[in-house]
């Protein structure tokens, strides 16, 4: 369902019922109350768009928050007052005591990392007992996955993907190859036997391909038996619980991880992650059926990418110098500490990912990072071998060779971090947002001007009313 375009209608909004005046009402109402109850939050670029902040904002009004795919390769930062929280696998919604959080069958769980994340949450004083649930179908990351991830990527030399080295790719590969072990298997009496069979294959791979000494079976088996005890209280029939919540028309928020261009099928293959990151991956990863009412696509007001692979709108060396420092702009990867690569907003790319997920509203994040620029570029299309492309290229070779078509617009050169109403944004900032909306063909529902919760401009209800 398409929400009405607010930005393109701004001139017709009378001051009496303008969105600035209604913003208090909207910021309450925009959430789930009385609106469609199944909402997905999806990254539209190469990840790190600010999904964590958006999920945190919407979780206030959601009863259930579920992760469908990926693992601890994700890194979602949420800033609440002076505190900063970092999540990798656990849904950011855990910060709200009323919210039930689920980690679905399509995810991969590294028990060591999961338990460390729980410790960090506990240290922040957040109680999660009886409201954090793990699907029995989720596959487990083992030490050999992490090891093979690092060794495998290194062995690719110049073609290395630059993975997070969390073992995500090898774990999903084992799943597809019917060699994986799931949470259900960890809790089964056959666990040792299954692990023994798998480990003998993995040790063969380690020794023959990488000349690496074999891993010790007993050590891994007893380490994971220890995890089994700690994980058992969280294991639950997640699929049935979500089915029930959906039947009861309760508000469910689906938290996407990674970004659409990291999707295993439709991303910039092979420089992608190993799960389905587009909206279609959500029902498949949670086993809930294609039920989503609203798909909110999250984009940065520019573009970033961590790791290797094509990046058509990446800044030139000169332009990099104009961009705020990586620390100031919060463009350092949460999971690996790597500096993110930066580029201009690429509307051609975002239009492509909007189609892949059937996105019906957009959240524009980090507008404030562009506050200091004289001129801002937007990529509106691609040219290849003298031809203007009409569809997004499917190969890295083409993407490396394309010539981005840019439009340059005036910057606003004023701070936006203190602004809370759309109409108070500088004229040029509004023109920039309007242009993004025009080029992408999807209404902007939320604009973010800083990492904190209140640094948010709510533009639209974006959850249509449910006829009750």
Catalogue the active-site residues: 48, 76
Is position 51 an interface residue for ligand GDP (rule: CB under 6 A)?
A: yes
Q: Which helix (H) or strand (E) holds 58?
A: helix 51-59
Alpha carbon 432 to chain centroid, angstroms: 24
Rounded to a whole number of angstroms, the minimum distance from the CB of residue 73 to ligand GDP is 10
Is position 91 an interface residue for ligand GDP (rule: CB under 6 A)?
A: no
Rounded to a whole number of angstroms, the minimum distance from the CB of residue 87 to ligand IMO is 9
Name 2's Cβ contacts closer than 8 Å, sequence gap at least 6: 360, 442, 443
- Pairing assessment for the beta strands 403-410 and 375-384 based on DSSP bridges: antiparallel
Is position 305 an interface residue for ligand GDP (rule: CB under 6 A)?
A: no
CA angle 192, 90, 460 (to 5 degrees): 150
Which of ligand IMO, Mg ion, ligand GDP, none has residue 273 at its interface (CB below 5 to 8 Å by kind)? ligand IMO
Question: Is the preceding peptide bond at 270 cis, omega within 30 degrees of 0?
Answer: yes
Measured distance CA(282)–CA(276) in Å, rounded: 8
Q: Segment 446-465, which members bind ligand GDP (CB under 6 A)? A: 448-451
Which of ligand IMO, Mg ion, ligand GDP, none has residue 73 at its interface (CB below 5 to 8 Å by kind)? ligand IMO
Measured distance CA(55)–CA(218) in Å, rounded: 41
Closer by beta carbon to Mg ion, 171 or else 257:
257
Measured distance CA(459)–CA(441) in Å, rounded: 16
Is position 53 an interface residue for ligand GDP (rule: CB under 6 A)?
A: yes
Measured distance CA(278)–CA(40) in Å, rounded: 10
Q: Which helix (H) or strand (E) holds 305?
A: strand 303-305
Return the residue of 139, 305, 366, 377 that touches ligand GDP, per CB under 6 A: 366
Is position 369 an interface residue for ligand GDP (rule: CB under 6 A)?
A: yes
Scanning 75-83, 180-188, 194-202, 459-467 for contacts with ligand GDP by CB under 6 A, the matching segment is 75-83
Binding mask 10-49 for ligand GDP (x = CB under 6 A): ---------------------------------x---xxx
Rounded to a whole number of angstroms, the minimum distance from the CB of residue 341 to ligand IMO is 10
Is position 79 an interface residue for ligand GDP (rule: CB under 6 A)?
A: yes
Rounded to a whole number of angstroms, the minimum distance from the CB of residue 331 to ligand IMO is 11
Is position 56 an interface residue for ligand GDP (rule: CB under 6 A)?
A: no
Closer by beta carbon to ligand IMO, 161 or else 241:
161
Measured distance CA(85)–CA(334) in Å, rounded: 11
Rounded to a whole number of angstroms, the minimum distance from the CB of residue 88 to Mg ion is 9
CA nearest 140: which of 203, 223, 65, 216? 223
Is position 77 an interface residue for ligand GDP (rule: CB under 6 A)?
A: yes
Name 179's Cβ contacts closer than 8 Å, sequence gap at least 6: 198, 201
Q: Which helix (H) or strand (E) holds 404?
A: strand 403-410
Binding site for ligand IMO (CB under 6 A): 43, 46-48, 73-76, 161-164, 166, 168-169, 257-259, 262, 273-274, 306-307
Binding site for Mg ion (CB under 5 A): 48, 75
Closer by beta carbon to ligand GDP, 199 or else 455:
455
Measured distance CA(271)–CA(391) in Å, rounded: 19
* CB of 35 closer than 8 Å to CB of 463: yes
Closer by beta carbon to ligand GDP, 131 or else 300:
300
Measured distance CA(339)–CA(272) in Å, rounded: 18
Rounded to a whole number of angstroms, the minimum distance from the CB of residue 46 to ligand IMO is 6
Which of Mg ion, ligand GDP, ligand IMO, none has residue 330 at its interface (CB below 5 to 8 Å by kind)? ligand GDP
Is position 67 an interface residue for ligand GDP (rule: CB under 6 A)?
A: no
Measured distance CA(266)–CA(20) in Å, rounded: 38
Q: How many residues bind ligand GDP (CB under 6 A)?
A: 22
Q: Which helix (H) or strand (E) holds 276?
A: none
Q: Segment 216-275, which members bind ligand GDP (CB under 6 A)? A: none
Closer by beta carbon to ligand GDP, 35 or else 87:
87
* CB of 185 closer than 8 Å to CB of 174: no
Rounded to a whole number of angstroms, the minimum distance from the CB of residue 467 to ligand IMO is 34
Judged by DSSP in three states, 170 sits in: helix
* CB of 426 closer than 8 Å to CB of 392: no
Rounded to a whole number of angstroms, the minimum distance from the CB of residue 338 to ligand IMO is 7
Is position 368 an interface residue for ligand GDP (rule: CB under 6 A)?
A: yes
Residues 453, 454, 458, 462, Cα dihedral to 10°: 30
CA nearest 405: which of 386, 369, 378? 378
Q: Which residues bind ligand GDP (CB under 6 A)?
A: 43, 47-53, 75-77, 79, 330, 334, 365-366, 368-369, 448-451
């Amino acid at each position: 369902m398409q929400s009405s375009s607010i930005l393109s209608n701004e001139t017709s909004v009378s001051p009496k019922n303008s969105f600035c005046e209604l913003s208090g009402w909207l910021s309450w109402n925009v959430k789930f109350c009385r609106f469609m109850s199944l909402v997905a939050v999806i990254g539209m670029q190469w990840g790190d768009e600010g999904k964590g902040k958006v999920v945190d904002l919407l979780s206030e009004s959601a009863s259930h928050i579920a992760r469908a795919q990926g693992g601890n390769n994700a890194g979602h930062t949420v800033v609440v007052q002076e505190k900063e929280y970092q999540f990798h696998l656990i849904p950011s919604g855990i910060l709200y005591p009323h919210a039930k959080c689920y980690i679905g069958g399509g995810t991969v769980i590294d028990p060591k990392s999961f338990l460390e994340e729980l410790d960090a949450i506990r240290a922040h004083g957040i109680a999660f007992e009886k409201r954090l649930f793990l699907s029995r179908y989720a596959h487990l990351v083992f030490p050999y996955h992490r090891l093979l991830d690092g060794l495998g990527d290194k062995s690719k030399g110049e073609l290395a993907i630059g993975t997070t080295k969390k073992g995500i790719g090898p774990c999903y590969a084992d799943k597809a190859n019917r060699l994986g072990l799931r949470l259900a298997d960890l809790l089964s009496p056959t666990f040792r036997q299954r692990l023994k069979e798998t480990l003998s294959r993995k040790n063969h791979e380690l020794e023959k391909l990488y000349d690496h000494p074999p891993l010790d079976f007993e050590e891994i088996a007893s380490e994971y038996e220890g995890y089994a005890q700690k994980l058992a209280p969280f294991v639950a029939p997640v699929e049935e619980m979500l089915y029930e919540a959906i039947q009861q028309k309760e508000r469910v928020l689906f938290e996407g991880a990674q970004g659409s261009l990291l999707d295993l099928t439709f991303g910039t293959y092979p420089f992608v992650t190993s799960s389905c990151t587009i909206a279609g991956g959500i029902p498949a990863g949670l086993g809930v059926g294609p039920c989503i009412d609203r798909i909110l696509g999250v984009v940065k007001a520019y573009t970033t990418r961590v790791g290797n692979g094509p990046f058509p709108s990446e800044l030139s060396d000169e332009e990099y110098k104009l961009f705020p420092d990586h620390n100031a702009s919060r463009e350092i990867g949460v999971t690996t500490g790597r500096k993110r690569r930066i580029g201009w907003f690429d509307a051609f790319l975002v239009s492509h990912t909007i189609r892949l997920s059937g996105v019906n509203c957009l959240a524009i994040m980090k507008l404030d990072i562009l506050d200091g620029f004289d001129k801002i570029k937007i990529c509106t299309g691609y040219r290849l071998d003298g031809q203007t492309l009409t569809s997004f290229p499917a190969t890295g070779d083409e993407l490396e060779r394309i010539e981005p078509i840019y439009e340059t617009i005036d910057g606003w050169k004023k701070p936006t971090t203190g602004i809370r109403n759309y109409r108070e944004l500088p004229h040029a900032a509004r023109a920039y947002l309007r242009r993004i909306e025009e080029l992408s063909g999807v209404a902007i529902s939320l604009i973010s001007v800083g990492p904190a919760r209140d640094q948010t401009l709510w533009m639209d209800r974006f959850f249509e009313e449910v006829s009750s």
